[in-house]
Amino acid sequence: MSFSIAGKTAIVTGAANGIGLAIGRQFAEKGANVMFADMDEKRLKNELGEQVDDSNIRYFAGDLRERLTIANLVSATLDAFDEIDILVNGSRQVVSSNPLDPDDESVINLLNQNLMPALRLTQQVARRMIKQSDPESEKQSGSIINLSSIAARRTHPDLLAYSVSSAALDQMTRSMAVALAPNRIRVNAVAFGSVMSASLKSILKEHRDYRQDIESHTPLARVASPGEVADAVQFLASDGSGFMTGQVITVDGGRTLLDPVAAPAH
């Protein structure tokens, strides 16, 4: 069983910082060609500027809520590497919402931010994976991994919009897995709990008591590193998970085994 992704080409969105950046860097270190995509061009340049001359690293800046931007991302990846074997939909945003405020549009905004770009990019990349695949081969044509959250299964009123968008992403994962299975394209997701991402670092600075609360409600009693999510994503991207599709695997230190924690999960 091989967990290698060497020689494969991956698009990783949300790749300018935190979890997406960790995934992209790990993929590149393991020998994959990686297109790092994010809206924040300045941060992409700061993080990757000196590495872009490497043969297996490129970056693309743009707003993936726009259909043209998605098409341009796919074209830029093909121009650089000829094929696309892996897609990691990691672009995501966390915002608080008021479930009792009729003027709160956070649910619509997060569906447009966290769900629709992933769906549209999956559709475009899947078409390319089908086109480049060998119909006579039994090998997988591609692997698509969505980054989700345990918020899809936990209830926290302040995270209504994030929970709804995460649950929608999980269902999209299952639906697209069935739709693309005849083309040998696998679609899975990683739902994680508290990971030391840029957003969580910012929250912990403002609410120092959250960390103790999170750790006390997590059986492994700590916050995960972005690299631990990257390990799970690499597994799903590799042939080692070749008979897995439509699955949402959980990386949360056991947190969902217990009663809901008072502090939001990010």
Per-residue pLDDT tens digits for 171-209: 999 999 999 999 999 999 999 999 998 778 888 888 888
pLDDT of residue 1: 57
Question: 23, 20, 22, 16: which is closest to 60 by C-alpha?
Answer: 16
* 254 or 139, greater pLDDT: 254
Q: What percent of the chain has pLDDT over 90?
A: 74
Whole-angstrom distance, CA of residue 13 vs CA of residue 82:
18
pTM score: 0.93
What was the pLDDT predicted at 53?
66
Average confidence (pLDDT) over 25-30: 97
116 or 51, higher pLDDT: 116
Confidence band (pLDDT; 50, 70, 90) for 54?
A: low
pLDDT tops 60 at residue 264: no
Question: Which of 229 and 93 is assigned the larger pLDDT?
Answer: 229
Q: Which residue has the higher pLDDT, 189 or 139?
A: 189
Query: Residue 261's pLDDT is what?
Result: 47
CA angle 114, 120, 124 (to 5 degrees): 140
- Band (266; pLDDT cuts 50, 70, 90): very low
Going along the chain from its start, the domains and CATH numbers come out as: 9-257 (3.40.50.720)
86 touches 143 (CB < 8 A): yes
**pLDDT over 70, % of the chain:** 96
Locate 159 and state its tokens.
């995270």
- In this predicted structure, the answer to whether residue 145 has a pLDDT above a threshold of 90 is yes
Task: Give pLDDT, residue 92.
Answer: 87
Give the number of residues written for the chain: 266
Q: Which tens digit of pLDDT belongs to each residue from 55-81?
A: 899 999 999 999 999 999 999 999 999
Please name which of 22, 32, 160, 152 lies closest in space to residue 98, comparing C-alpha atoms. 160
Model confidence band, residue 210 (pLDDT cutoffs 50, 70, 90): confident
CA distances from 220 to 138, 145, 199, 255, 261 (A): 40, 25, 21, 8, 14
DSSP class of 223: P
User: Is the confidence at residue 251, as pLDDT, over 90?
Assistant: yes
